[in-house]
């Protein structure tokens, strides 16, 4: 027998918190202690949106949800409140496997069919002027200009999210943004208000494992995954439906930086990711992603120990393989950043026939929020007329006027139905029952409709099982990075109850993880937080580990070669040829930027040593003469160039003079990644993680 739906689960109290719940704190307080709407109406439940049954759709009558998100959407102008810093490009999606039996959506009807796209990738927390490389989630939004209208697949580079219900989104973003009294930190989650919120929202613990992992500090926007996050529906021409989760898989593979590397990149080149994407496309090295689908039915959904409508949960690829159906290639940079990248307006509610929604409460709130946001940012309901947002197929309706109206509708008819003329002529457009969008009629699996409730389904109360799954699916060095990231973030928190509460949550995920974080903070472990639902052990999923995907290929990577006067042009060209043969690119670095005399001719550097630190490259090599090596050994920038590459576990190619006068001075001994130049191209750009414990203290 199904259990009764759980009431609010967000504030189940961690032992050691003082035992006082959010609701108890309000008892006996004066009126200022009670949460109200803008109209002064007290709010009985600020954790759950109003639904038609525990697993039913969110109701439009929920004025608390609508007011809260409406106000949040209009907090700032004109910069995006979230995802303000983004980079984008034009491209094409090509269907590689037609699936008309699953969906009537236009992009998937024939193998080889091409659809124009515009893709924007962004950070979440920072403003438009922040840096590219903070520890953060990356937005991944694709606008398909299909034959039947625009379809926006708006997601992230992580397949789950912090919260289960859209009513909590303003609270989440308020907590992670700069603190209200201080105005800092910018583009950082390592502060009290964020971790205070997370500690009181156990549903966030799965996402926290991802956010503290190397997925949140990617090497390049070209090397991240993308996810639709929610469970969607696919509907075929016969009106039959299946459930679907969307995955974007980078052709270049997954790659990250180290935390120290990401921090130093931010100082050396705040536009690192933006520059990397732009220059790759400009050079014809077009980044590409395969689109994959996880397809399942109601029987599969019911058999899982989690709820497929819960956006804090994923479906392991080992349980349900991803079927590749197409490839997106980004092949053209915007002509104007503001007109295209900045004015691009994405909305999850933009779907085409063959794509439909489920009652995921986070998705339901997003369907309201995004459309409203565009009015605030772009100043008009006519934002769809901006070229980057305009559909490529015909568009006709009776929407009229409004600020910045650029179209000139003709004829007398501006309403429907009318008898002023035939359809498509003086009478204007008409409904299209046969080919128009029709919402799928059946309810989601197990959905209960009828009674209006502010509740969540029982399975939503399992906050720890998938967090445990993610952590235990990582390789040991990745687990160490997660633990170290949490230690770093919590070390920035000044409220004493915050780290204690997080530690109590971590004990429900993995005892070793909790101990490592506690040791890193020099704190005693508190009792484990009481779990609203007992976590279960799930089989590890190797697909969740970056390192399980293997060492990176040379294709799409950037290698630096350090040279100076007298260096051998033949040796430099030998490395360059080998790197470029495997699809990499070479950047020449020297102490001086002008033409230098080298053995065999002259050579001009692409960048000066102090302005081209090794953190900007995937691997480094050096070809210099002994006298120049002695000089460089006295230069802190040169020593840091090699030491950073070594401590970031990168491949280093050396000539005899480099080893004798620089590497030996730094105590850098040859290993599987510190190798002579003639072996460099056969190993680079591999990372050598066995080196990390020698150069860095990890939790």
Which of the following is catalytic: 48, 90, 150, 156?
Answer: 156
Length of the chain: 699
Residue in the block written with tokens 């959407």:
73
The number of angstroms, rounded, from the C-alpha of 525 to the middle of its chain's C-alpha atoms is: 32
Q: Using DSSP bridges, classify how beta strands 558-562 and 288-296 pair: parallel, antiparallel or unpaired.
A: unpaired
- CB of 495 within 8 A of CB of 192? yes
- Residue environment code for 78-103, b if the CB has 16+ CB neighbours within 10 A, otherwise e: eebbbbbbbbbbbbbbbbeebbeebb
Whose CA is closest to 482, among 150, 148, 213?
A: 213
Tokens representing 411 are: 């004829």
- CB of 467 within 8 A of CB of 209? yes
Whose CA is closest to 229, among 208, 207, 213?
A: 207
Task: Report d(CA 628, CA 595) in Å as an integer.
Answer: 16
Residue in the block written with tokens 């039959």:
240
Beta strands in 207-271 (DSSP E): 226-227, 232-235, 241-250
Tokens representing 94 are: 């090509």
Q: Using DSSP bridges, classify how beta strands 232-235 and 355-356 pair: parallel, antiparallel or unpaired.
A: antiparallel
Whose CA is closest to 51, among 358, 359, 312, 313?
A: 359
The number of angstroms, rounded, from the C-alpha of 79 to the middle of its chain's C-alpha atoms is: 19
Report helix, strand or coil for 324: strand
Which of the following is catalytic: 48, 83, 157, 481?
Answer: 83
Q: How far is CA 470 from CA 314, 389, 464, 536, 557, in A?
A: 10, 37, 10, 13, 28
Active site residue 83: yes
Active site residue 46: no
Q: Active-site residue numbers?
A: 83, 156
């Amino acid at each position: 027998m199904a259990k009764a739906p759980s009431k609010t689960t967000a504030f189940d109290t961690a032992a050691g918190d003082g035992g006082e719940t959010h609701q108890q704190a309000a008892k006996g307080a004066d009126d200022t202690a009670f949460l109200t709407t803008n109209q002064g109406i007290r709010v009985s439940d600020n954790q759950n949106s109003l639904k038609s049954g525990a697993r039913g759709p969110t109701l439009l009558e929920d004025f608390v949800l609508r007011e809260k998100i409406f106000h949040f959407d209009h907090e700032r102008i004109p910069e995006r409140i979230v995802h303000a810093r983004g980079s984008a490009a034009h491209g094409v999606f090509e269907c590689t496997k037609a699936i008309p039996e699953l969906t009537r959506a236009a992009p998937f009807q024939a193998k080889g069919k091409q659809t124009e796209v515009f893709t924007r990738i962004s950070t979440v927390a920072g403003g438009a002027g922040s840096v590219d490389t903070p520890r953060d989630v990356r937005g991944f939004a694709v606008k398909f200009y299909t034959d039947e209208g625009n379809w926006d697949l708006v997601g992230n580079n992580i397949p789950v999210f912090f919260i289960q219900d859209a009513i909590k989104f303003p609270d989440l973003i308020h907590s992670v943004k700069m603190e209200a009294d201080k105005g800092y930190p910018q583009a950082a989650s390592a502060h009290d208000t964020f971790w205070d919120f997370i500690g009181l929202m156990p549903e966030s613990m799965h996402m926290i494992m991802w956010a503290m992992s190397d997925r949140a500090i990617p090497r390049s926007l070209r090397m991240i995954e993308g996810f639709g996050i929610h469970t969607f529906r696919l509907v075929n021409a016969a009106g039959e439906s299946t459930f679907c989760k969307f995955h974007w898989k980078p052709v270049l593979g997954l790659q990250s930086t180290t935390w120290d590397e990401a921090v130093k990149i931010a100082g050396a080149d705040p536009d690192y990711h933006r520059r990397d994407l732009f220059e790759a496309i400009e050079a014809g090295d077009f980044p590409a992603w395969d689109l994959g689908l996880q397809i399942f039915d109601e029987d599969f959904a019911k058999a899982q120990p989690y709820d497929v409508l819960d956006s804090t949960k994923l479906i392991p690829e080992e349980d349900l393989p991803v079927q590749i159906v197409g490839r997106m290639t980004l092949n053209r940079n915007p002509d104007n950043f503001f007109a295209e990248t900045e004015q691009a307006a994405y909305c999850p509610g933009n779907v085409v026939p063959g794509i439909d929604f489920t009652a995921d409460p986070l998705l339901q709130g997003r369907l309201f929020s995004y459309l409203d946001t565009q009015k605030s940012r772009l100043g008009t309901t006519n934002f769809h007329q901006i070229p980057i947002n305009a559909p490529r197929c015909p568009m006709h309706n009776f929407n009229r006027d409004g600020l910045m109206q650029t179209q000139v509708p003709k004829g007398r008819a501006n309403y429907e139905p009318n008898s002023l003329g035939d359809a498509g002529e003086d009478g204007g457009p008409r409904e299209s029952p046969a080919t128009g969008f029709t919402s799928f009629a059946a309810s989601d699996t197990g959905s209960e409709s009828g009674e209006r409730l502010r509740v969540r389904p029982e399975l939503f109360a399992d906050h720890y099982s998938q967090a445990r799954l993610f952590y235990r699916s990582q390789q040991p060095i990745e687990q160490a990075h997660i633990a170290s990231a949490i230690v770093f973030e919590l070390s920035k928190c000044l409220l004493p109850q915050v780290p204690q509460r997080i530690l109590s949550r971590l004990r429900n995920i993995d005892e070793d993880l909790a101990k490592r974080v506690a040791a890193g903070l020099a704190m005693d472990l508190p009792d484990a937080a009481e779990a609203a639902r007992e976590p279960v052990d799930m089989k590890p999923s190797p697909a969740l580990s970056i390192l399980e995907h293997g060492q990176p290929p040379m294709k799409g990577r950037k290698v630096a070669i350090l040279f100076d006067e007298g260096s051998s042009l033949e040796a430099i060209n030998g490395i360059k040829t080998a790197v470029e043969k495997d699809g990499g690119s070479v950047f020449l670095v020297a102490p001086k930027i002008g033409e230098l005399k080298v053995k065999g001719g002259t050579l001009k550097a692409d960048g000066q040593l102090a302005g081209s630190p090794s953190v900007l490259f995937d691997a480094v090599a050096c070809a210099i003469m002994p006298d120049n090596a002695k000089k460089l050994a006295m230069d802190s920038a040169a020593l840091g160039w090699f030491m950073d590459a070594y401590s970031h576990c990168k491949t280093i190619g050396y000539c005899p003079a480099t080893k004798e006068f620089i590497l030996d001075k730094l105590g850098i001994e040859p290993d599987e990644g510190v190798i002579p130049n003639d072996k460099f191209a056969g190993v680079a750009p591999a990372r050598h993680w066995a080196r990390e414990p020698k150069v860095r203290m990890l939790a």
